[in-house]
């Protein structure tokens, strides 16, 4: 059966609205859907999928606002990063995040947890926590996969098993990256991928890359935190009509303690009755940067989502800008 057709009908079986443009799947759902998978709950006698009643556990106004990407699709301004989350911890963390209003989940081939992320998404949809079309699932191709991108894309679709992949990125530059990206473009046309982008591309990298591809990336995912702000790259990328998303927004593993104990950030947090993590994430948000902090702690997830009730002053934004050290916490 045609790959695009099966991806669309899977989404229909998980309570997608029929006949319209969808965030969760890039093609309209069909009126008559084949059974999407053997473990999907609610199967009817006729072999179709019963439409679960969606009972959102978090009011819409308590979720992250959505940003329009350059291809007309939308993405939440804050999501959950899953780097270092594996096994049941990953599944339960993603499920807990979806319960708490998260609608953006970031994974990657290199994280070895795509299957767990997909399991949590399917479970949350089946339990009526959220509708599939409201969730943006992001994954990434690693450079070791670029030489056989078609197989890598199929592998990601199979591991996630959530219908179309909403956003697929190249994890970082490597030999054959443009060819791998063009393979992703074909899957956008086929309906298997919604949007495409890149990660760890800075001014020189994006300048060399754009002439080699047909579809402008919707976003670039880079390391951004108060000790590594890289404002020139961020502003340049944004000036191209490409959104910027921050990985390691809180400094990254092994580096969080100093950042979360910074006296400037602590003073700003105290002035607002907020946490330092909230101040950092809000600083990114006010700079127009999407954030994907990772966590397995439901309390931290709720705390991070609270940044949309916070507003930093221009003076506070300037004080945070002055913390720039050009201190990169990962190699790419």
- Structural contact between residues 76 and 166, judged by C-beta atoms closer than 8 angstroms: no
Question: 248 an active-site residue?
Answer: no
Residues 6+ apart with CB under 8 A from 177: 143, 146, 170, 198, 209
Neighbour-count burial of 249, counting CB atoms closer than 10 A to its CB (0-12 exposed, 13-18 middle, 19+ buried): buried
CA gap 69, 81 in Å, rounded: 19
Spatial CA neighbour of 311 closest among 274, 262, 277, 260:
274
Spatial CA neighbour of 169 closest among 214, 134, 137, 133:
137
CA gap 169, 289 in Å, rounded: 17
Spatial CA neighbour of 152 closest among 161, 160, 141, 137:
141
- Structural contact between residues 76 and 242, judged by C-beta atoms closer than 8 angstroms: no
Spatial CA neighbour of 224 closest among 235, 209, 214:
235
Tell whether residue 329 is among the known ligand binding residues: no
Backbone angles phi, psi at 68, to 5 degrees: -80, 125
- 95, 102, 111, 201: which is the annotated catalytic residue? 111
Backbone angles phi, psi at 223, to 5 degrees: -70, 125
- Which residues are identified as catalytic? 111
Binding residue positions:
171
Binding residue positions for substrate:
171
């Amino acid at each position: 059966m045609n790959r695009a057709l099966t991806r669309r009908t899977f989404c229909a079986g998980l309570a997608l609205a029929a006949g319209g443009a969808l965030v969760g799947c890039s093609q309209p759902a069909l009126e008559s859907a084949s059974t999407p998978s053997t473990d999907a709950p609610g199967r009817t006698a006729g072999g179709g999928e019963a439409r679960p009643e969606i009972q959102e556990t978090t009011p819409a106004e308590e979720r992250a606002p959505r940003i329009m990407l350059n291809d007309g699709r939308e993405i939440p301004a804050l999501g959950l990063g899953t780097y270092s989350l594996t096994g049941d911890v990953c599944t339960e963390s993603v499920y807990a995040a979806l319960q708490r209003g998260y609608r953006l989940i970031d994974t990657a081939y290199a994280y070895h947890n795509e299957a767990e992320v997909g399991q949590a998404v399917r479970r949350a949809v089946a339990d009526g926590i959220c509708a599939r079309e409201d969730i943006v699932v992001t994954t990434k191709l690693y450079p070791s996969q670029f030489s056989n991108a078609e197989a890598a894309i199929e592998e990601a679709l199979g591991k996630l098993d959530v219908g179309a992949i909403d956003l697929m990125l190249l994890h970082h530059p490597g030999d054959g990256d443009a060819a791998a990206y063009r393979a992703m473009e074909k899957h956008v046309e086929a309906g298997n991928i919604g949007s495409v982008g890149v990660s760890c591309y800075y001014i020189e990298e994006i300048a060399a890359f754009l002439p080699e591809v047909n579809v402008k990336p919707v976003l670039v995912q880079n390391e951004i935190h108060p000790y590594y702000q890289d404002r020139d790259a961020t502003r340049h990328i944004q000036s191209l009509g490409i959104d910027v998303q921050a990985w390691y927004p809180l400094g990254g593993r092994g580096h969080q303690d100093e950042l979360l104990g910074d006296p400037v950030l602590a003073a700003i947090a105290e002035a607002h009755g907020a946490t330092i993590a909230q101040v950092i994430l809000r600083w990114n948000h006010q700079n127009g940067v999407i954030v994907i902090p990772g966590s397995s702690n439901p309390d931290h997830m709720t705390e991070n989502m609270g940044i949309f009730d916070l507003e930093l002053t221009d003076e506070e934004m300037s004080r945070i800008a002055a913390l720039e050290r050009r201190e990169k916490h990962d190699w790419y």
